[in-house]
Chains A and B, each alone.
Chain A
Amino acid sequence: MAIDQAVVMGASALGAGVAMFGCFGAGMGQGYATGKAVEAVARQPEARSAVTSTLIMGLAFAETTCLYGFVIAILLIFANPFTKDLVG
């Protein structure tokens, strides 16, 4: 394997790892939101269903930021746009 190809592939793998750092923020946000929802249910148990549905919606939004990073990582690993230029 040529050295430039090895460098591109290694750098792509590292980039995929770095892209998954987005999960850090998403996880923190989800934990915070869930904590607040638990507080709300503890204070007002009769509002449980409304709180739960709002929480699920919010979690879906928070998860999206993490999944943007995930898509980048998947692209870099399975559909790498950079290695194609090297092979030819």
Chain B
Amino acid sequence: MEIAGAKVLFEIPILGGIRITETTVVGWGVLVFLVVLVRFFTSRIEKIPKGKQVLAEMYVNFIYGQVESVAGKRALKIAPYVGTIFLVSITSSLSALVGVRPPTVDINTTAAWSLVTFGLIAATKIKAHGFFGHLKEYLNPLNIIDVLALPVSMALRHFSNILSGYILMELIGALLAFCSSKLFGVLGSYFPVLKIGIPAAFSVYFDLFGSFIQAFVFIMLTMVFVGMASEKDEEHKNI
């Protein structure tokens, strides 16, 4: 057993070498899977929904309802982004279930997402207060730290939650392989009998539960902060 960063698979020799890691490749797989899934769910759309179209509409309604209740009507425009990031986050984290290294175990992935959210918050602020009005906030130096800490903490939260689940699953797997080789001798070391089924029970908490919660927390934070940023000054004083 070895715990290390994502393996570099190959390097594109332009711009001083762009490294294509396991994370990138699995990320592409996740995107392809999602495109196929969405194409499947939205093919043959009818006025009166039935079958798979009902599921797709339920998801869209759920996301729009969440955005409206958490971020407010003014921020309803971010709903497509929120829905996309939720799906991508869940699918990336759950890709651990098919045995590949999930893209969210790399801080680059979550940092990229939180930077997008950071840009979204800044854009919303500029839209609500005007460019110079939004600069007024930075007169207080503590606010600068507050603003800059947000993407860092969002990226670290998602990354570390999935990472801890991943490492624990690796450790449990190594332990079960060791136990089966001790219990069943040579047979066990070639074919780790105990690794069948038992890790699935742990995986329910560490992979399934954690993935859903972290994806939900991520979109929740996005909605809350964009909602706060979209408030005009006079509303802001009431809080």
List residues of chain A with CB under 8 Å of any chain B CB: 56-57, 60-61, 63-64, 67-68, 70-71, 74, 78-79
Q: Interface on B for A, CB 8 Å cutoff? A: 3-5, 153, 156-157, 159-161, 163-164, 167, 213-214, 216-217, 220
Measured between C-beta atoms, what is the minimum distance from B64 to chain A in Å? Answer: 18
Considering only CB atoms, which chain A residue lies closest to B157 in the complex?
A: A64
| Contact assessment for A57 and B161 in the assembled complex, using a CB-CB cutoff below 8 Å | no
User: What DSSP secondary structure best describes chain A's contact surface?
Assistant: helix
Instruction: Decide: A57 and B163 in contact? CB cutoff 8 A.
Output: no
Q: Are B156 and A61 in contact (CB under 8 A)?
A: no
| Interchain CB contact under 8 A, B3 and A67 | no
B164 touching A57, Cβ below 8 Å: no
- Contacting pair A64 B161 (CB below 8 A): yes
Contact in complex: B160, A68 (CB < 8 Å): yes
* A63 vs B163: C-alpha distance when bound (angstroms): 13
**Given the known A-B contacts A64-B157, A68-B156, are A74 and B163 also in contact in the complex, defined by CB atoms under 8 Å?**
yes
Given A56-B213, A78-B3, A79-B4: A71 and B156 interface contact (C-beta under 8 Å): yes
What is the distance, in angstroms, from A60's C-beta to the closest C-beta of chain B? Answer: 5
CA of A60 to CA of B216, assembled, Å: 10
Q: B217: which A residues are within 8 A, CB to CB?
A: 57, 60-61
Whether B161 contacts A63 by the Cβ 8 Å rule is: yes
What is the CA–CA distance of A71 and B167 in the complex, to the nearest angstrom?
11
Q: A74 contacts which of B157, B167, B214 (Cβ < 8 Å)? A: B167
Q: Is the CB of A67 within 8 A of B220?
A: no
Q: 5 closest A-B pairs (Cβ-Cβ)?
A: A67-B160, A64-B157, A71-B160, A78-B3, A60-B217
Interface centre among A56, A60, A71, A78 (most CB of B within 10 A): A60
**In the complex, how many angstroms separate the beta carbon of A61 from the nearest chain B beta carbon?**
7
In the complex, 23 of the A-B residue pairs with CB atoms within 8 angstroms, ordered by the A residue number, are A57-B216, A57-B217, A57-B220, A60-B214, A61-B217, A64-B160, A64-B161, A67-B156, A67-B157, A67-B160, A67-B163, A68-B156, A68-B160, A70-B164, A71-B156, A71-B160, A71-B163, A74-B3, A74-B163, A74-B167, A78-B3, A78-B4, A79-B4
Bound-complex Cα distance A57 to B3 (A): 29
In the complex, which residues of chain B have a beta carbon less than 8 angstroms from the beta carbon of A78?
3-4
Give A68 to B158 CA distance when docked, in angstroms: 11
- Residues of B with C-beta under 8 A to A57: 216-217, 220
- Complex contacts, B153 vs chain A, CB 8 Å: 64
Chain A min CB distance to B209 (Å): 9
Which A residues are CB-close (under 8 A) to B4? Answer: 78-79
